[in-house]
């Protein structure tokens, strides 16, 4: 008897309940700037094995792979300064042993791909580091504009 009364009350309640009609909401779209489209597998060259190119280049530096660093240096930098000067610079003057943190932003300026790291910690101070790269033969390569002690700061 109790079960039938509960079922009767539940069915009456459900019968008189009306669904609430939602008003459609207006959707606003934000236009994103156009980026170059590369239609190949592994089509984002700024990410190498789930790491950004900056972290990859820093790993080469920390493990003293200076010849590989030369392989990932842009041709225009090599033409501007010369291979032996850059290699000597990487070995003795280049300082890239600070924590750069996670990649914050990727933005394009012509054929230059700028990787922005906003959580870099240089000598105990939080800084923003922007590393310029370019795309050459499906590889991302660093661009050095000068051979100063800290060209990325």
Q: Which pLDDT score, from 0 to 100, does residue 86 have?
A: 92
> Who wins on pLDDT, 53 or 47?
53
pLDDT exceeds cutoff 80 at 4: no
The predicted structure's pLDDT at residue 16: 65
- Taking the domains of the chain in order of start, what are their residue ranges? 44-153
Pick the CATH number of 44-153 from 1.10.357, 2.60.40, 3.10.450, 3.30.2390: 3.10.450
CA distance 8 to 104: 60
Per-residue pLDDT of 90-125, as tens digits, reads 998 888 888 888 888 888 898 888 989 888 888 888
Per DSSP bridges, beta strands 47-48 and 51-52 are: antiparallel
Rounded to 5 degrees, what angle do the CA atoms 131, 122, 75 make?
A: 25
This prediction has a pTM of 0.64
């Amino acid at each position: 008897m109790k079960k039938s009364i509960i079922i009767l009350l539940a069915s009456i309640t459900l019968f008189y309940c009306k669904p609430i009609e939602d008003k459609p909401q207006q959707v606003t779209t934000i236009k994103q700037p156009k980026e170059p489209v590369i239609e190949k597998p592994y089509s984002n060259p700024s990410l190498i094995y789930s790491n950004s190119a900056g972290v990859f280049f820093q790993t080469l530096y920390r493990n003293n792979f200076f010849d590989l660093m030369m392989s990932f240096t842009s041709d225009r930098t090599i033409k501007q300064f010369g291979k032996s000067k850059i290699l000597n610079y990487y070995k003795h003057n280049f300082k890239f042993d600070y924590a750069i943190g996670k990649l914050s932003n990727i933005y394009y300026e012509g054929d230059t791909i700028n990787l922005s790291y906003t959580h870099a910690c240089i000598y105990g101070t939080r800084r923003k580091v922007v590393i310029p790269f370019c795309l050459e033969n499906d590889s991302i390569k660093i661009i050095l504009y000068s051979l100063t002690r800290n060209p990325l700061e």
